Structure 1
Amino acid sequence: MEQTIPLPFSLNKIKDLALTAAVPAVTGGFDIRFENTIHTYHVPVKSGEYELVLCLRGSYKKTIGPFVFDVYPHSIHLISPAYIHSSAEASEDLLIYRLVFRKEFLTNDFFKENTVDNLLELNPDYPPIYGITEQHFIAIRALYERIRHESQVENAFQQSMIRLMVMELLYEMNRACEKCLMNSTRHLSRQYQLVNQFKKLVQEKFLTLKTVQEYASLMFVSAKHLTEIVKNETGQNALQIIHNRIFLEAQYLLSSSSLSVKEIADQLKFDNSSHFSRFFKKSAGLNPSQFKNGL
């Protein structure tokens, strides 16, 4: 049975694949919500909120924009509203704390916007997930639980207290980020930089650029070289990464919009809906209409 209390974020203990579609959209900057339901969503989503996720136990695979990474115990990761994200392969013992909030909740006459932006804009060259020590994990988990407790009781200055604690969480996440970067920046190879540049370009231009050669030209390398370094770094070929991004967008549009299959094919710049259907079926094992009807 779902229990909803109006709050400006949501904090969930989630088991199973409760990780992609979250809660109904946060309304404005000051609508707060707490949920204790188990969700099971398997499709890509995009919302207007940030999500800050602490993994207590178990694991799953997370895709956020150009990054695909494993979520593991004693890690914290941030989901930006700028990206489509999805989750898969959740372990049976998965347990996470999840905080969902709008930036406006923090910046509305409380903290300076540039201060909040600095905390939310992490290093774009690395996946936004950070491992934390046992001592740090205990402190962060306690902070989530304090937010949860504050959201469930009516006290004076409730929203101000919650804002302060959310900001403290963001500072703790950035502290973990800085520690991870100190340990990994020196290992940032030229090959990694090129592959990361390619992935970012795919995020920006997948609707108009469909071939490896087009991306290679933008990067001033040969298509052969780009294919080789992407394969070495990711285990995937470059064309597969382009197709995966188109497929992700197709799933998102089919699951979240009222557009017809033909309209989605047009939006994704396919020659016709038949071409789009063949492309989609090759990746999903079923055609777009079957996918949409099965949601």
Structure 2
Amino acid sequence: MPKEIKSYRLDNQYLFIHKEAITDSDFGLDNTAELIDNGFGIYSSVRVKNKIGPLKSEFYRVAMCRRGFVTVDCGLETFTHQRNTIHFNFPSQLFSLYNKSDDMFAYYILFTEKFIEDILPLNSIQQQFPFLDYEGVPFFQLTESESTEIEELFFKIDNEIKRNQKLLKQAIQLYIKLILIAANRSYERQKLAKKVEPKKDGTVVTRFKKLVGQHFLTKRSVSDYASILAITPNHLSKLVKEQSGKTASSFIEEMLLMEAKALLRHTELTISEIAYQLNFSDPSHFNKFFKKGTALTPLRYRNQK
């Protein structure tokens, strides 16, 4: 196991993290390390590596399997990716791929927040598409017709890239949104989404959760986030409680606990090293925090995996 979980940006070198080599497939960007507008890539699983990760990425990933199977870790959950399943990863989330069948075939797209910000405001994307939130369900089964519909959208993006005409980025942005809309219709059909009434201050809570995901290692108090959001800690706590049923501090603690679990499960770091990497003052404080959240000591959690 590695000594740390690396985080990767979407750049020209990332191709060699997920592919064995540039391929002779003419689908999407299989045959090049270049990206569209430095923030978008579309690929088939031709020559995808047998094992990827564990890693974190600073971009979104959407993948749909059409044949065979592969095991995928999203965050701390493990799924078998098989025909007509779709999965989503968002920035800073843990990702692993392994145990790939010889006949596995899938399509996937990678895109940065900057690439989609014109068409999908980042302060509302989690409300529109709950599978892009760590509390949502990142992996689910599609019907054959739903898979065909999304596959056709992948083909349309591929066709846009081959034509390479004006407003290519804008066309791809629209197809990304259509893919997310189609997936969300399946998500809602299966009643995977929590029933949450839209709130006028919903974007504040969405921004808070995003900020926690970015800064939980260094900012541990509600007042830290309230200051960034230019509201009082009491008002932020009230909004979070009204819209999620949870306290604002519990979101910070949950992110910290998820990171601790990932490091215990996927690295060779000692308990003490993990404690200090997570900015605990000493290992005993970390042990107390972890046991409160899991009823297990860090060592027992690591040994039971």
1:202 to 1:92, Cα distance in 2 relative to 1, 3 A? farther
Deviation at 1:130, TM superposition (A): 2.0
Please say if residues 137 and 192 of structure 2, whose CA atoms lie closer than 8 Å, have aligned partners that are also in contact: no
Shift of 1:205: 2.3
Find the residue that maps to 1:68 and give its secondary structure.
strand
Given the alignment of the two structures, is residue 116 of structure 1 paired with residue 110 of structure 2, yes or no?
no
Match for residue 82 of structure 2? 72
1:165 equivalent in alignment to 2:175: yes
Once the two structures are TM-superposed, the CA of residue 10 in structure 1 deviates from its matched residue by: 1.3
1:54–1:75 contact (8 Å) kept in structure 2: yes
**Structure 1 Cα separation of the partners of residues 35 and 76 of structure 2:** 33
State the 1:52 CA deviation. Answer: 0.5
Q: Which secondary structure state, in structure 2, belongs to the residue aligned with residue 171 of structure 1?
A: helix
Mapped pair 1:133 → 2:164: no
Aligned pair in 2 of structure 1 residues 147, 265: CA closer, same or farther (>3 Å)?
same
- Specify whether residues 57 and 201 from structure 1 end up closer, same or farther in structure 2 by C-alpha distance, changes over 3 A only: farther
Are 2:35 and 1:6 aligned? yes
| Structure 2 Cα separation of the partners of residues 175 and 105 of structure 1 | 23
Could you say which residue in structure 1 is the equivalent of 2:257?
205
Amino acid in the other structure paired with 2:113:
K
Q: In 1, distance between residues paired with 2:274 and 2:123? A: 37
Paired residues of 1:106 and 1:116 also in contact (CA < 8 A): no
Structure 2: distance between partners of 1:72 and 1:137: 12
Q: Deviations over 1:163-187 (max 9, x none)?
A: 11111011111111111226999xx
TM-score w.r.t. the length of structure 1 is 0.56
Q: Label 1:207 to 1:182 Cα distance change in 2 as closer, same or farther (>3 A).
A: closer
Identity of aligned residues (%): 20
Q: Distance in 2 between matches of 1:125 and 1:96?
A: 25
Take 1:103 and 1:124, find their aligned partners in 2: how far apart are those partners?
16
Is residue 61 from structure 1 mapped to residue 92 from structure 2 by the alignment?
no
**What is the distance in 2 between the residues matched to 1:73 and 1:131?**
8
CA separation in 2, counterparts of 1:168 and 1:76? 15
**Tell me, what secondary structure is at the counterpart of 2:34?**
strand
SS at match of 1:181: coil
Give the number of equivalent residue pairs: 202
Deviation at 1:250, TM superposition (A): 2.1
Q: 2:192 & 2:74 partners in 1: Cα distance?
A: 23
> What is the CA–CA distance in structure 2 between the aligned matches of 1:124 and 1:134, rounded to whole Å?
27
In structure 2, relative to structure 1, the CA distance for the partners of 1:113 and 1:126 (3 Å cut) is: closer
Q: Which runs of 5+ in 1 are unaligned?
A: 16-36, 186-197, 209-241, 255-261, 272-277, 285-295
Shift of 1:204: 2.5
Q: What's the counterpart of residue 257 of structure 1?
A: none
Return the alpha-carbon distance in structure 1 between the equivalents of residues 177 and 152 of structure 2. 14
1:201/1:87 CA distance change after superposition, 3 Å? farther
Q: What is the one-letter code of the residue matched to 1:246?
A: L
- Report the secondary structure of 2:102's partner residue: coil
Q: Normalising by the residue count of structure 2, what TM-score does the alignment of the two structures yield?
A: 0.55
Mapped partners of 1:282, 1:67: distance in 2: 18
Quick one: structure 1 residues 283 and 67, their matched pair in 2 at CA, closer, same or farther if it must change by over 3 Å?
closer
For residues 83 and 113 of structure 1, the distance between their equivalents in structure 2, rounded to whole angstroms, comes to: 16
